[in-house]
Amino acid sequence: MASATERESWRPEVIPGRLIVLRRHRAENLRAFMRWYSDPEVARLTRYQQAPLSHDEVQRFFYSRIMGSDFLAMAIHVRDTDRLIGTCAFSQLDGDNGSTLYHITIGEPDAWGKGYGTEATELMLAHAFTRLALHRVALTVFEFNPRAIRAYEKCGFVVEGRARQAIFRDGRFWDEIHMSVLLEEWEERNRPR
């Protein structure tokens, strides 16, 4: 059984970065989730269903997952302004096999393309491989989201497979891409030169 100190290192209050700071979510972040997940473009990029989440669905998701114990979820804040711009999380933490699934949403469209998501992903990978002692971090991304795919590749994720034509968007079927990064790959990328 893990001690309270060990559990706290797994679920830190803060993970500081250069552009952003990851912080544990607070109840007042629900307002931002309501706005983000009601946005049709956020829904298009993150959900299998075409429609945005209803307010009841967002509230259930926020309290059961984001604030619950099954996810390790962190709020993404711009370092200089402390503005809340998104969320990232690990789900399906599997200690026996050293793996987890990674999720990220930059909910503020004016924060897209500025490197915030890439840095959040890098910080979460460092946490996964150093503090959580995991072996593999995986994710899925829709083929029609090339910006996210490029960011994941920049962080070391590699394509390991596809669910062919798994989602219908914009009048056609697209693949769902499965990506992962392994501990040894992350260590090689982050070894001092």
- Whether 3 has a pLDDT exceeding 50, the answer reads no
Query: What is the structure's pLDDT at 9?
Result: 59
Q: Global pTM? A: 0.92
User: Backbone phi, then psi, for 166, in 5-degree steps?
Assistant: -85, -15
Query: What is the structure's pLDDT at 97?
Result: 94
User: Backbone phi, then psi, for 158, in 5-degree steps?
Assistant: -125, 150
* pLDDT tens digit sequence for 51-107: 778 889 889 989 998 998 888 999 999 999 999 999 999 999 998 999 999 999 999
Residue 119 CA, chain-centre distance (Å), reads 11
End-to-end CA distance of the chain: 38
User: Backbone phi, then psi, for 36, in 5-degree steps?
Assistant: -60, -50
* 37 SS3 class: coil
* Residue 168 in tokens: 């219908």
Q: d(Cα 38, Cα 131) in Å, to the nearest integer?
A: 34
* pLDDT tens digit sequence for 14-48: 999 999 999 999 999 999 999 998 888 888 888 88
Q: Answer whether CATH 3.40.630.30 is correct for domain 4-190.
A: yes
